[in-house]
Amino acid sequence: MAICEEQASYIDKQPRTQPAVEFPYEDIQATTQIRILELLPAGHGDPLKGRLVVEASNSLGPFEAVSYCWGPREAVDNIECNGKSLHINAAVSGILRQFRRPDDPHRLWVDAICINQSLKSEKDAQVPLMRDIYSKASRVRIWLGQDEERSGEAFDLIQETCNAITRAQEKHGPQPTLAQLFACDLPTNRDDRWTTLNALLNRPWFQRTWILQEVSLAQTALLHSGPHTCPWPTLAHISTILFHTQAHNALNTFAITYAARIAMIAFQDARTVDKTLAGLLIATVGLGVSNLRDRVYALLGLAGGV
């Protein structure tokens, strides 16, 4: 996983080996309470600092939740929480450094920090709270990783494609043909930005089962690749339209089917999705999850029956 300039600058100043000191988490009532990270403001390249606050899951203050792929677990950075050092991996470091504000605290829920990962009983008890966490967050921030493989151009292409689809739908109805899309200025396969979009959609986030619940429950969701952003519904919309017109074949962008599958399951597209738990389990074959129990938990909130 690539790291940003700010991460690299800070990490290069740190010792190459760090003692494996377990972070002293405050005990919580894990079935009814969660921790929120109050990420403290700082300048570019400054050490990460924050506070972990415990709140009842039924009376949470405003916060944002992060949906991301853990990646390698090796600690490369640390954050000072409540005066103690908590080691974090590259993904979490990138998230915190990207979302840290210069002037005011940012309240975030990031599972790697807000759940005591060394305490199995707490992890097991917090899993059923995921639905509450992602549905009550004011925004879900989807972290795809750092700005690499020209991801900024992929985000530009997403918006251009959305504009072309909107024009075609205004002229021809909700499901325009591929020819109608091209007539409304959908970029053709000669535009090499389709390669950058394919690379973006091949990132590991699109292969996680848990994301289905995380995005479907979100009040609002925003995609991030480094500094580049895009509303999740925009990508969900274009990927579904392109999938139904088979445009992904003409554009040699097969990875659009990954986003389309997520969108159709999360938004319960009746044309393609069996909304029973059994149907969702079949539809999500191939998506990553650590064990079958977690796959069931990840889908239960979306299922309309057994």
Rounded CA separation 265/24 (Å) = 39
Rounded CA separation 141/214 (Å) = 10
Alpha helices in 141-231 (DSSP H): 151-172, 178-183, 193-201, 211-216
Q: What is the dihedral of CA 135, 137, 138, 144, to 10 degrees?
A: -100
For 155, the 3-state DSSP assignment is helix
Q: What is the pLDDT of residues 244-271, one digit of tens each?
A: 898 888 888 888 888 887 887 776 544 4
Q: What is the pLDDT of residues 88-115, one digit of tens each?
A: 999 999 999 999 999 999 999 999 999 9
Instruction: Find the helix packing angle between 151-172 and 193-201, rounded to 10°.
Output: 100
Rounded CA separation 221/231 (Å) = 6
- 2 or 152, greater pLDDT: 152
pLDDT of 37 higher than 80:
yes
pLDDT of 302 higher than 70:
no
pLDDT given for residue 271 in this prediction: 46
Query: What Å distances lie between residue 115 and 111, 168, 227, 270, CA to CA?
Result: 5, 46, 27, 36
pTM above 0.75, yes or no: yes
Banded pLDDT at 12 (limits 50, 70, 90): very low
pLDDT given for residue 82 in this prediction: 95
Q: What is the pLDDT of residues 265-296, one digit of tens each?
A: 776 544 455 667 666 666 666 665 555 566 66
Rounded CA separation 121/137 (Å) = 24
Average pLDDT over residues 206-214: 84
Q: Where are the domains of the chain?
A: 5-137, 151-203+232-300
Rounded CA separation 129/134 (Å) = 9
